[in-house]
């Protein structure tokens, strides 16, 4: 399945009543048990946590970002510091996003042509040009294990022609990324685009499958469309992706969306939601989200989640509320660790449920607690 003999993908089990898959992606830097959630370390750090703390949540792979690291500190600096793994002190796999999402998120500061995208830096206004070739060169300098192809992401909803042109361009750019690769130690994942048009998504997936990438992502979702629309696109797209390659749903991160994605055959996820919410005093639990700034938690001696092994759950809800009320930095750190631990446990429980052929029952029980 791979560009290199150093990588392999193995499908271990399929759920009986759903499309959920239990699989394994092996890389030179370690094995990733799938389904998995990747904490986001955009700038070479998962905000507020050491790499040891991140690893203690159960994370087996992190995500970094080409656009942001190219601007600061610059890929040459990262390379001189020994690559992204060495710089961070993280010895497990890393996936780097290509900068394609920034074409969407920084659209007002970006000009897109067939050649690539020209950004005006959000930091100092300086010019950064990203082409498929340049994106791969940066990712190779960073030394990530999985590089995402450079794609053209557009806002939704949008005109059909705009989505079609971006989708076709993404396919052409994927081929250019493939041609630009020079490392055996890095594989590339292609990205399926096509907005909320099922036929376009299927066509894009089929065209990219012809290019024989080692993995496939579904991009351009979770950009404001209703969840039901995202699930509809996953229903259409996942069945036409190669079954012997990992499938990655980009930037999607509500707990319910993770389980709905797994139910449809997705293997990999990433999102800033667990850490961003943690920094803002929101904790994910089996009973739904807890807002720890609320006064009702002031004298609550219970942990956030009774059976949770995270750093936060060694303390009371009342103590964590106090930390936020007092503006202490420990509060965001503890809740970030809790939320990432909660997400990793969701993945571990999902893997076990798939192995035992009971994912649908697990899904129903878990989501009933959140409602």
Residues in Cβ contact with 210 at an 8 Å cutoff, skipping those fewer than 6 apart: none
Partners of 128 in the β-ladder? 119
Bridge partners (DSSP) listed for residue 269: 37, 249
Q: In which residue are the tokens 């607690």 written?
A: 369
3-state helix, strand, coil in the chain (%, to 5): 45, 20, 40
* Residue 332: burial class (beta carbons within 10 Å; 0-12, 13-18, 19+): buried
Q: Rounded to an integer, what distance in angstroms lies between the CA atom of residue 111 and that of residue 207?
A: 26
- Tell me which residues are annotated as active site: 97, 270
Beta pairing class for 94-97 and 62-65? parallel
Distance between CA atoms of residues 148 and 135, nearest Å? 9
d(CA 144, CA 37): 17
């Amino acid at each position: 399945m791979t560009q290199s003999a150093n990588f392999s993908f193995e499908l271990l089990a399929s759920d009986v009543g759903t499309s959920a898959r239990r699989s394994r992606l092996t890389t030179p830097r370690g094995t990733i048990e799938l389904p998995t959630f990747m904490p986001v370390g955009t700038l070479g750090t998962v905000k507020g946590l050491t790499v040891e703390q991140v690893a203690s949540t159960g994370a087996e792979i992190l995500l970094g970002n080409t656009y942001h690291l190219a601007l600061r500190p610059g890929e040459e600096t990262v390379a001189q510091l020994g690559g992204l793994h060495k710089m961070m002190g993280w010895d497990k796999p890393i996936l780097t996003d290509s900068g394609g999402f920034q074409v969407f998120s920084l659209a007002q500061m970006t000009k897109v042509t067939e050649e690539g995208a020209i950004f005006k830096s959000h930091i100092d206004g300086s010019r950064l040009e990203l082409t498929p070739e340049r994106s791969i060169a940066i990712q190779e300098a960073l030394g990530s294990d999985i590089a995402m192809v450079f794609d053209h992401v557009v806002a939704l909803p949008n005109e059909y022609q705009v989505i079609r042109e971006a989708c076709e361009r993404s396919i052409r750019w994927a081929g250019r990324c493939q041609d630009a690769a020079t490392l055996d130690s890095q594989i590339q994942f292609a990205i399926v685009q096509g907005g909320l048009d099922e036929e376009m998504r299927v066509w894009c997936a089929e065209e990219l499958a012809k290019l024989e990438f080692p993995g496939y992502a579904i991009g351009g979702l979770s950009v404001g469309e209703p969840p039901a629309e995202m699930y509809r696109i996953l229903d259409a797209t996942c069945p036409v992706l190669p079954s012997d390659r990992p499938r990655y749903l980009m930037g999607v991160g509500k707990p319910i969306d993770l389980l709905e994605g797994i139910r449809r055959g997705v293997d990999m996820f990433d999102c800033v939601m667990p850490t961003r919410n943690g920094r803002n005093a929101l904790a994910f639990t089996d009973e739904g989200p807890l807002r720890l700034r609320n006064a009702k938690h002031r004298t609550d001696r219970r942990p956030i989640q009774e059976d949770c092994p995270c750093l936060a759950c060694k303390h009371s809800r009342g103590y964590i509320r106090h930390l936020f009320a007092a503006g202490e930095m420990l509060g965001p750190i503890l809740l970030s660790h809790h939320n990432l631990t909660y997400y990793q446990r969701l993945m571990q429980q999902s893997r076990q449920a798939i192995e035992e052929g009971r994912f649908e029952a697990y899904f129903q029980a878990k989501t009933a607690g959140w409602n």
